[in-house]
Structure 1
Amino acid sequence: MASCGALVGTLTTGCWAEPSAMPAVRDFLIAWEVGNYPAAAKRTVGADRKEVSDALGQVRAQLDAASLRLALGVPGQDTDVKAIDKKGDEADARFSVKVDLGENGQPWTYTGLLHLRRQGGRWKVVWDPSIINPKLKPGQRLAVLTEVPKRAPIRDNQGRSVLREVWAYNVGVYPGRLADQQRTLDGLARQTKIDGGRRLDSERLLGRVRSAPPQQFLPLLTLQVPDHNALIQRLRQIDGLHFEPVKVPIDPMYAPELIGSLGPATADTLQQVGAPYQPGDTIGVSGVQLLQQRRLAGTPTVRVVAQDPTGKNTEELRSWPGQPPQDVRMTLEPTMQRRADNALAGLPVTGSLVALRPSTGEVLAVSNHLTSGRNLAFEGRYPPGMTFGIVSAEALFSEAGMNQSTETTCPGTVTVGGLTFTNKARPDGGFGTHFAYSCRTTLAQLGGRLSAQTLMAEASRLGLGKDWGLSVPAFTGSVPAPANDGEKAATMIGEGKVQVSPLAMALVAAAAQNGTWKAPYILKDISKADQVPPTNLQRESISSLKKLLSRSIRTGLATPARVSGDVVGVAALPAVTEGGQKREISWFVGSRGDLAFAVALEGHVSAAKVAATFLRGVPSGSRGTP
């Protein structure tokens, strides 16, 4: 006869190994699974029906279970093994249990046992707490323990943590002491707005509280002081919340827009990091802290236990070991980072500076000023203006046979493809001279020597618009194909639809200095930059580019950045129109020794002067060491 150990999910009888006892087993398991606990209790003897109904009803809450599935028999057993063994008026029925612990992790499966007795010609389930789990004893309840390991640090390229310890409060509850769990958690959810107005989910928190050991402190969120003092004061008005002061390493010493922050897990962040993190857990909510959450935090060890009311006598029923945390090593060099921050400090405008090592692609400093938490050094989208001339010049040198001495003109006005370009007129002379004076009309005219495909290919060779394999968000640039000669002329001077980030232009400067474009990386042992092949520039164009940038810094907008003879670079002041209003972007893009960097400021402020401040703090020929 075929086995009748199929998943309980229907009231149909099917084939039954023991017809007399089977309906009682079937009806009890179905009622329990679908949540009709009084109906299940009616099928039992040996205890008060309300006691049985309450005990069955508490299982899901005590486990914070997403689902509970019951099946007659033992999955995987030989089909000849009977699901029910009958001896006279006594019988035993084996059944399988599968509990989906949801955010607590993997499903919990085990085999349960029902003892039945025939009374008055009817089979009844003899109630015992062991029906819920074979190891559960009278007076005990189930609970879920989550043991969170200490979070690993984020380290700089010297191996030192980039996080400082600050005072904070672990805000939580003692579940067994709450007079009204729902009211306390609703109050917490109302007062706590996370990540732009998103609140903690009180229902999901309630499930977590109900499944926790009643007598143990359960932290629900960590709030840093004094940043969250106002919220802490509001939360102190809610009955049932407790506050435990702790000192935790969570405050970035620099580059906070990149490193990110920690905060309570909301529904949105839980979708990104996944199980087994739970609502209210302190997790990374931005930057590297979020992107590397699982590496930095590891995963908790989750244990299902049976406890008596005091919580002291605890027996483990099942556990799922977590993964240990791992450090994240960054390429940031602390001394270089401080110099970058100092260069931007005190400016009245939004600005960003990024510095890297051309020989390797390591990012040494990422500084953002007045950016409202945005990492514009990596993700800003700006027209590069004449700093894009590095790309255009490289194309002219390598594809059009030009060099810095090629005779060119710099008229005050020129019209190309219906677009008019203007600047201060200069006498006819070499291309290097006109480039140094930021002659827009010169480059606009020279676009006629290049095809649109050639210009696009050169931009791609210098990394613009490519996938860098970077392990953090970054805008790699956008150089749309010009539709006509006018758009091509605008592209030549970094205007029109061309957009770049400071990091993208720092990489262009690095390629001009090193002769090879290399993908950037900022997280050691995590980046995929080594999978992005480098691009070598032609030897002749490398020499011409270096001479071009050396001459450029001796003239015009770039001059203030010339703090020593080995500095090369170019400055620009393009305008961007937003909301009908024009806004200038001040650029400096350059290099010195094995150091390339880019400065972008949102306003009519000299980026070259900021570059000079940065460079004065960096030893000549620096490789990014103190």
Structure 2
Amino acid sequence: MTGKTRRRAAAALALAAAVPLLSACTQEPSAHEAVRDFLVGWQTGDYVLAARRTDGDEKKVRQALEDARVQLDAASFRFELTGIRRAGDEAEADFEAEVDLGENNPLWEYDGRLPLHLVDGRWKVRWSPGVLHPELREGQRFAVKVESESRQPIVDRNNDPLQQPAKMHVASVVPSKLDDAAGLCERLSKVTGFPQDRLLSRIRSASPSDQVPLVTFGRLRFAQLRSELEAIEGLEFSVRELAVAPDAPTQVVGTVTAVTPETEQQLGGPQRAGDTVGRSGLQKAYQEHLTGSTETSVITVDLKTLQPVAELAKWRPGRTASPVRTTLDRSVQAAADGALAAGGPGMMVAVQGSTGQILAVGGTKEYHQEKDPPALAGKFPAGTAFSVMAVEGLLKSEVDLEQKLSCPAERTVGGARFHQTGALTGGTPTVKASFAGGCVTALASLARRVDGAELTAGAAKFGIGAEWTLPLKSFSGSVDPLRTDAATARALAGQNVWVSPLSMALVAGAVSSGTWRPPVLVTEPASQDPADEAEPVKTVPPVDLDDETVDTLRSLMRAGVTSGSARAAAAQGDPVHGITAAASAGGKPLSWFVGWQGDVAVAVLVQSTDSTAGAAVAGRFFQKLGEGA
């Protein structure tokens, strides 16, 4: 059931309750009967009943009532009689009118009056256009003007727009120029799929001299339909340039298209503010904010000059369209995209360590999905990058980081078998060296010395499994149950710990700042839904990390770049801290880098057999960032 159908049903139900009230609110039953029949007939669409209670030509009255409904594109009329005054053979009734102007439009409320007089002993409504509205005169009609706000931009943290202009093609008509509006709408409906009745009502309710947009097309869709559209007599075309083509990160910013028959039902009405709809990313998540509301006016129009005469009412329901301000930084994004372009398939997320604000989200075409970007929502094994979160558990278990710990090619722990590609050089390494070099077999061997519950609790302090939310789908991570030595060993090797590049970038940010913070992507508006603006925003509190854990991690992750497998991440400027890790998902080898420079923390995940591939991308990123990308 459509919104308009529901409103008509509601109006019919309300009428049943209203009729007894109409029959009881006056002491003049004869005049009351005329008023009651006229208003009930008008409200229910029984224009024959209404016309017979007037002194006018019944055919003309019926047509005038029908025209009022069409000109207002009204879903329903509702009336309440408020009083009747009589003076001899004359009387006057006061009523309150409520006109439902349909989907996405307001209720128009106004006070009306019905003059009555006795005609051959019967009370009749003295007919004139003023019966429909006190300001409507002979030679005039109603019309509804609709003005949409332009779609507002999505901007980065510096208010730079994250989209470029794109051409949209608008098919419109001037009602007064049409010989056959119904025929035009029938042909346009067949070509486009938009409902014929809604297209026609849009034309009939508009001011006759106005340019009335009916359908908006994107460039490709217009090219496909152009010959059929141009064959429809009376249809006119224009080009609007709207800033809707997404800049990087396109997965996050999202795409925008013209309203289609499918989205029309979702949004209501044949068109909507800006004639565009977000199909993915933030454009979809913040559709209501970016398009705002439509300004609607009810006016009277002179039928000879076709010019407006008076404005009877005006609304802008809802909220004014507003930009969406993100935490993204175009320069950081450019550095991320440039760094990824020189490597294999991969993803990268950069955050501000001190705030958790997302600065950049990058991904090559292999990891480029409009829906649920893998860099934010992907579920990947952490590999030995989990060792960052395991350090606190190791320290509580009094593991000596300077202890010698062999890094064999293979090792079995609790029945679980582990394989290390490329043994560490320089004799038997220490625990610290195994951390910096990402030795799977060495780290797994610590399973019998570490409580699995401690590892899970340590991961939680770094936000793994935290219930933070973003306007786009995201994954905070999870740890499988660690009930055996084998499960604990697999966790130390990161084989049963699941993370996204975003969650690992936040881990790096936590070590760099000493506090884990939930991610932030949008700073304005406060809520995706305008209706929730007054509601308090639910947030996940930050978690301060143990000082000893932070100091140890900073030392270990600095060693990862200076002497470990993350050396490729080294760059000019502030010292780079980080570690590499190898993992595998779906039979594809993966290379992690998790680290930071200054206040920019990153997680890089590259599909490669080279365990240092992620560090190489990070090194290029930090270099480009230092050069100003």
TM > 0.5 = yes
Which residue type is aligned with residue 581 of structure 2? A
Distance 1:251 1:273 in 2: 21
The answer as to whether partners of 2:152 and 2:323 remain within 8 angstroms in 1 is: yes
TM (norm. structure 1) is: 0.83
Q: Aligned residue for 1:369?
A: 364
In the TM superposition, 1:73-222 aligns within 5 A as: 73=82, 83-179=83-179, 181=181, 184-185=184-185, 188=188, 203-222=197-216
Structure 1 unaligned residues grouped into runs of 5+: 1-5, 74-82, 193-198
**1:456: how far off?**
2.8
Distance 1:603 1:190 in 2: 51
2:569 paired with 1:569: no
Q: Aligned residue for 1:262?
A: 256
Residue 301 of structure 1 aligns to a residue in which SS?
strand
Distance 1:556 1:180 in 2: 78
Q: Aligned residue for 1:393?
A: 391
Cα separation, partners in 2 of 1:338 and 1:7, compared to 1, 3 Å: closer
Distance 1:211 1:226 in 2: 30
2:250 paired with 1:242: no
The answer as to whether partners of 2:273 and 2:294 remain within 8 angstroms in 1 is: no
Distance 1:390 1:183 in 2: 70
Distance 1:232 1:555 in 2: 64
Residue 113 of structure 2 aligns to a residue in which SS?
strand
Which residue type is aligned with residue 352 of structure 1? M
Select the residue among 379, 382, 388 that pairs with 2:380: 382
2:336 paired with 1:340: yes
Cα separation, partners in 2 of 1:204 and 1:456, compared to 1, 3 Å: farther
**1:319: how far off?**
1.0
Select the residue among 311, 314, 319 that pairs with 1:319: 314
Q: Aligned residue for 1:535?
A: 543
Distance 1:102 1:477 in 2: 46
TM (norm. structure 2) is: 0.82
Distance 1:403 1:43 in 2: 100
Which residue type is aligned with residue 523 of structure 1? V
**1:346: how far off?**
6.5
Select the residue among 392, 401, 405 that pairs with 1:404: 401
Residue 354 of structure 2 aligns to a residue in which SS?
coil
Give CA-to-partner distance per residue, 1:369-417, whole Å, 9 cap, x none: 32143433323332222222322234323x3333532444445444555
Select the residue among 571, 596, 604 that pairs with 1:599: 604
Distance 1:325 1:347 in 2: 40
Distance 1:352 1:475 in 2: 15
**1:216: how far off?**
1.1
Structure 2 unaligned residues grouped into runs of 5+: 1-12, 528-536
Distance 1:393 1:221 in 2: 60
Give CA-to-partner distance per residue, 1:187-225, whole Å, 9 cap, x none: 556655xxxxxx755554444443322321123454454
Residue 457 of structure 1 aligns to a residue in which SS?
helix
Distance 2:454 2:128 in 1: 81
**1:507: how far off?**
0.9
**1:508: how far off?**
0.7
**1:84: how far off?**
1.9
Which residue type is aligned with residue 311 of structure 1? L
Distance 1:289 1:126 in 2: 54
**1:331: how far off?**
2.9
2:68 paired with 1:70: no
Distance 1:392 1:236 in 2: 67
Residue 364 of structure 1 aligns to a residue in which SS?
strand
Cα separation, partners in 2 of 1:46 and 1:335, compared to 1, 3 Å: same
Distance 1:188 1:557 in 2: 64
Distance 2:263 2:514 in 1: 42
Residue 138 of structure 1 aligns to a residue in which SS?
coil
Which residue type is aligned with residue 141 of structure 2? R
**1:324: how far off?**
4.3
Residue 552 of structure 1 aligns to a residue in which SS?
helix
**1:516: how far off?**
1.8
Cα separation, partners in 2 of 1:567 and 1:57, compared to 1, 3 Å: same
Distance 1:368 1:136 in 2: 61
Give CA-to-partner distance per residue, 1:206-250, whole Å, 9 cap, x none: 444433223211234544546864355554444443221233333
Which residue type is aligned with residue 317 of structure 1? L
Q: Aligned residue for 2:302?
A: 308
Residue 27 of structure 2 aligns to a residue in which SS?
coil
2:16 paired with 1:9: yes
Distance 2:495 2:178 in 1: 63
Cα separation, partners in 2 of 1:232 and 1:614, compared to 1, 3 Å: farther
Distance 1:388 1:191 in 2: 56
Cα separation, partners in 2 of 1:608 and 1:274, compared to 1, 3 Å: farther
Q: Aligned residue for 1:253?
A: 247
Residue 33 of structure 1 aligns to a residue in which SS?
helix
- Stretch deviating more after TM superposition (550-559 or 244-253): 550-559
Residue 551 of structure 1 aligns to a residue in which SS?
helix
Distance 1:183 1:553 in 2: 73
Distance 2:195 2:363 in 1: 33
Q: Determine what percentage of the aligned residue pairs are the same residue.
A: 36
Cα separation, partners in 2 of 1:140 and 1:614, compared to 1, 3 Å: same
Distance 2:512 2:97 in 1: 66
**1:160: how far off?**
3.0
Cα separation, partners in 2 of 1:444 and 1:136, compared to 1, 3 Å: farther
Cα separation, partners in 2 of 1:518 and 1:29, compared to 1, 3 Å: same
Give CA-to-partner distance per residue, 1:119-145, whole Å, 9 cap, x none: 344333333222222212223222221
Select the residue among 17, 33, 39 that pairs with 2:43: 33
- Stretch deviating more after TM superposition (216-225 or 357-366): 216-225
The answer as to whether partners of 2:273 and 2:292 remain within 8 angstroms in 1 is: no
The answer as to whether partners of 1:8 and 1:29 remain within 8 angstroms in 2 is: no
Which residue type is aligned with residue 65 of structure 2? L
Residue 45 of structure 1 aligns to a residue in which SS?
coil
Distance 2:439 2:96 in 1: 80
Distance 2:89 2:504 in 1: 85
**1:530: how far off?**
11
The answer as to whether partners of 1:330 and 1:523 remain within 8 angstroms in 2 is: yes
2:607 paired with 1:612: no
**1:184: how far off?**
4.5
The answer as to whether partners of 1:90 and 1:117 remain within 8 angstroms in 2 is: yes
- Stretch deviating more after TM superposition (273-282 or 217-226): 273-282
- Stretch deviating more after TM superposition (533-542 or 159-168): 159-168
The answer as to whether partners of 2:156 and 2:330 remain within 8 angstroms in 1 is: yes
Which residue type is aligned with residue 598 of structure 2? G
